[in-house]
Amino acid sequence: MSDISPKAEIDPRAKIGKNCKIFPFAYIEGDVVIGDDCIIFPFTSILNGTRMGNRNKVHQGAVIGALPQDFNFRGEKSEVVIGDNNVFRENVVVNRATHRGCQTVIGNDNFFMEGAHLSHDAKVGNQCVFGYGTKVGGDCEISNGAIFSSSVIANPGARVGEGVLVQAGCTFSKDIPPYIICTRKAEFGGVNNVRCQQFGVDEKTLKHIANAYRLIFHGMTSLFDSVMQVEEQVPDSKEIRNIVSFLRATKLGIIQKM
């Protein structure tokens, strides 16, 4: 049985799971689903279209399922779908999608620090960290294990690959390929060895990743040709395949070398 304060304002149509703790002055609208073992702190707003999994924590002042800040929004019914074990600290805002049938998606085990904002139709994988005041624009795609330091701005539509570290204060509008460090000036800052090792990448594969990025960022050729060189010259692994598929899917281009 959930522990729900009588001072919380909850629409009777909302679906609340088992063993949840909902504090006074939380506000939950009717078209909301909250899974088991979630903690909803005071002065939070869980709005229509929110579909939340298990063991999530939503701290004071956070707004989940906020209306999209998109001039194309016409009041359509849409969703924000959240997995398990996520933490939304104070004043985090997550917008639902713009159009009917569309979703803003957050996976599992992500941590949103104070003041972070995830915009409409963004897609977030698992085990990501969004530092203080980070803003992620609409339609962005953030892969597993990405870390955003404080005050990062991801402009709309940008993609971030697996295991990326984005340094504090960076503003970027192009894609950031997997396993690298993106500098404050939105430039290639080397391979993110620490994060790769946390993912279990061995030393040999780390060298192959570094070689792949030498071809991509320091070669005197186009991105298309450099990707072909990676396929021809770098030993195969799932990490190299991930890099190649990410680069081939880019529409905005990628960040530049230092």
Q: What is the mean predicted confidence (pLDDT) over 236-246?
A: 97
Q: Report whether pLDDT(32) > 90.
A: yes
Query: Please, are residues 93 and 114 in contact by the beta-carbon 8 Å criterion?
Result: no
Q: pLDDT tens-digit profile of 203-224?
A: 999 999 999 999 999 988 999 9
Distance CA 85, CA 53 (A): 8
- The predicted pLDDT at position 1 comes to 77
Residue 82 CB partners (closer than 8 Å, separation 6+): 50, 51, 52, 53, 56, 64, 94, 106
Q: Percent of the chain, pLDDT > 70?
A: 100
- The predicted pLDDT at position 258 comes to 58
Distance CA 65, CA 5 (A): 22
Q: Percent of the chain, pLDDT > 90?
A: 97
Distance CA 176, CA 74 (A): 32
Q: pLDDT tens-digit profile of 137-180?
A: 999 999 999 999 999 999 999 999 999 999 999 999 999 999 99
Query: Please, are residues 165 and 151 in contact by the beta-carbon 8 Å criterion?
Result: no
- The predicted pLDDT at position 236 comes to 95
Q: What is the mean predicted confidence (pLDDT) over 2-6?
A: 94
Q: pLDDT tens-digit profile of 91-139?
A: 999 999 999 999 999 999 999 999 999 999 999 999 999 999 999 999 9
